[in-house]
Amino acid sequence: MKNRFKNLSQRQRDLSMGLISIVLILVVSMVASDSIIDFLARMVIYMLFASAVNIILGFGGLRPLGQGTYFGFTAYAYLFMVVRMHIPLAAAIFLALLLNLILAAFVGTVCLRANDDMAFAFMNMGFNTLLWTLIQKLQIVGSDTGITGSVRLPFALSTRANFYLTFIVCIICITAIYLFFRSPFAKILKGSRENIERLTFIGVNTRNVRLTAYIVSGFFCGIAGLLYSMRNMGAFPSMISSGTSLEGLIMCLIGGMYSFFGPILGAAIVTFINVQLPIITNFYQSIFGVIIVLCVLFLQGGLLKDKAVLNLDDKKKKLLNKRGERA
């Protein structure tokens, strides 16, 4: 079995892993109770969120410390339009995603202006904090308590139906991200991660490449936020906080940010920890911290790696062994 898996090409591997995870989640959801389905919905949404973050993190090579902005902003925009302005649901979804795109374009343009990695990370986080404080202070968006309302779509009102809707949308979006990763544009994006001077030298406008990736990432984060607001039937300040953004990063880190399925696996693990640990102990954050530290120190590539990376590692090991024999 293991050998057979080794012989598969990268594309076949991705396909088989995707199919296995889809079938697994589907089977679990068939037999599970409502509370487990609620948990599964959260997991699936975070999978989409983590892979959206990974567009700019693992493949873009930037450090987005504030992707939670789009996660929360879309939810807030949607809830605000539906509950406060009484716009029909379909129009509100469309408008919320459009607003999210505009915000992503604006923030991306500003953040990438300095053309400095650290400045980008900090600006990103700054915007996130800004929006978070704004939302916590504004009475019209419910300040601390957030907005709640019946925002589920009319054909998906029950927990189970809403989960299947979420699941289908997430599968479509994750497939879209996968196709995005196989496009020629993603090759240039990876190039900008590896060697940006060289790419500039060839004549590629690297800032535009990064900006496009940033906007795409923000868009998918927004879809995840929209689904999350439907699951919770509300938008809350914690969705837009920097905690959400960092959770996304940690998911990518644990799962492995240089492979496509890494963030998805990481999202499953982190969501499981986040939901189950607080039941057992009061100090779950410190255990989470220990996990992060151990992962950073001893598991830098993450759990999953691409075939090419694995082959490279094997070659390195062989080379080191040869050198050892000679000496």
Partner 1 sequence: MTVPFFFQTLVTGLSSGMISYMMVAGMSLIISGMNMVNFGQGAFFVLGTYLTYTITAHIGFIPSLIIAPLVVGGLGWFVERAVRPLFGKNMLYIMLLTFGVAYIVCDGMIMIWGYAIRLMKLPSFLNKSVAIFGIYFPTYYLFMIAVGLLIAISFWIMMNKTKLGMMMRAIIKDREMVACLGINVNKLFSIMFMLGTGIAGLGGVLNAPITGMSPKEGLSIFGNIMPILMIGGMKNMNGCLPAALLVGLVNAFGAIYLPQFYNLLPAALMVICMFIRPQGIFTKKEAA
Told to check if 182 binds partner 1 by CB under 8 A, we report: no
DSSP result, 128-178: HHHHHHHHHH-TTTTGGG-EE---S-TT--SHHHHHHHHHHHHHHHHHHHH
Question: Which positions from 300 through 319 interact with partner 1, judged by CB under 8 A?
Answer: 300
Measured from the CB atom, is 114 or 161 closer to partner 1?
A: 114
C-beta separation of 271 from 48 below 8 A: no
Number of H helices, E strands in the chain: 15, 2
Told to check if 221 binds partner 1 by CB under 8 A, we report: no
The interface mask with partner 1, positions 239-258, x = CB under 8 A, is ---xx--x--xx--x-----
Candidates 32, 49, 39, 95; CA nearest to 264 is: 49
Candidates 42, 205, 55, 237; CA nearest to 137 is: 237
The interface mask with partner 1, positions 253-282, x = CB under 8 A, is x----------------------------x
Told to check if 172 binds partner 1 by CB under 8 A, we report: no
Which residue type, as a one-letter code, is found at position 9? S
Helix axes 34-57, 10-31, angle to 10 degrees: 160
Told to check if 296 binds partner 1 by CB under 8 A, we report: yes
C-beta separation of 59 from 243 below 8 A: no
Told to check if 98 binds partner 1 by CB under 8 A, we report: no
- The DSSP call for residue 234 is E
Told to check if 119 binds partner 1 by CB under 8 A, we report: yes
Nearest distance in Å: CB 145, partner 1:
16
The interface mask with partner 1, positions 133-162, x = CB under 8 A, is xx-xx-------------------------
Told to check if 211 binds partner 1 by CB under 8 A, we report: no
For partner 1, the binding residues (CB under 8 A) are: 57, 63, 65, 110, 113-114, 116-119, 121-123, 125-127, 129-130, 132-134, 136-137, 242-243, 246, 249-250, 253, 282-283, 285-286, 288-293, 296-297, 300
